[in-house]
């Protein structure tokens, strides 16, 4: 009986860790804009970056991704997904990821627009957005707008 209790506690602990990791990786895919007493949810285009954390390509992209997240957080989102983590297996399978580093560009509705295997520079990532029909305008603060 004592080993049964220990096994149950151990299983509960493992389950809790997986659930915590899954919730930590969960992303609503939206920014919240407060206007007066109401809150509106604004969906943004997104880049899903599938990578193996210890790969050379992932190491090269880490700084670029960090810069893009900071500079364009109100314009588009970037979500980094470690392909080797057990909790990410469903999304990796859903997007049929086979390479070490894949960037999937999604519109605001979550539809895949294009994908790229391998590392890209910051400038090239912004060019990809341009080819997808998004353009950057503004003086100091750039905004991402859909061409009409």
Residue 124 token pair: 């090239």
Report field, pTM of the whole predicted structure over 0.75: no
- Give the residue with greater pLDDT, 21 vs 112: 112
Report in angstroms the alpha-carbon separations of 48 from 4, 17, 70, 148. Answer: 42, 24, 16, 25
CATH code of the domain containing 50: 3.40.30.10
* H or E segment and range at residue 127: helix 122-131
Structural domain of 113: 43-146
What is the Cα–Cα distance from 1 to 19, expressed in whole angstroms?
A: 27
Counting the structural domains of the chain, the total is 1
Task: Flag whether 31 is in a domain.
Answer: no
Give the rounded distance of the alpha carbon of 67 from its chain centre: 14
- Average pLDDT value for residue range 26-33: 46
Give percent of the chain with pLDDT exceeding 90: 45
pLDDT tens-digit profile of 82-100? 998 999 999 999 999 988 8
Strands 30-35 and 38-43: antiparallel
Task: Flag whether 128 is in a domain.
Answer: yes
Contact criterion met (CB below 8 Å) for 29 and 107: no
Is the pLDDT confidence value at 23 over 50? Answer: no
What is the per-residue pLDDT for 95? 93
Q: Which residue has the tokens 């590392």?
A: 119
Task: Flag whether 7 is in a domain.
Answer: no
């Amino acid at each position: 009986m004592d080993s049964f209790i220990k096994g149950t506690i151990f299983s509960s602990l493992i389950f809790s860790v997986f659930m915590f990791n899954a919730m930590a990786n969960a992303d609503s895919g939206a920014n919240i804009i407060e206007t007066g007493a109401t809150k509106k949810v604004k969906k943004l285009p997104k880049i899903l970056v599938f990578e193996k954390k210890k790969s050379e390509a992932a190491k090269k992209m880490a700084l670029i991704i960090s810069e893009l997240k900071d500079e364009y957080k109100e314009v588009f989102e970037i979500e980094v997904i470690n392909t080797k983590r057990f909790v990410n297996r469903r999304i990796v399978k859903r997007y049929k990821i086979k390479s070490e580093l894949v960037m999937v560009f999604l519109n605001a509705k979550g539809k895949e627009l294009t994908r790229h295997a391998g590392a890209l520079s910051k400038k090239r990532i912004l060019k990809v957005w341009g080819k997808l029909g998004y353009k950057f305008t503004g003086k100091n603060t750039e905004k991402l707008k859909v061409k009409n």
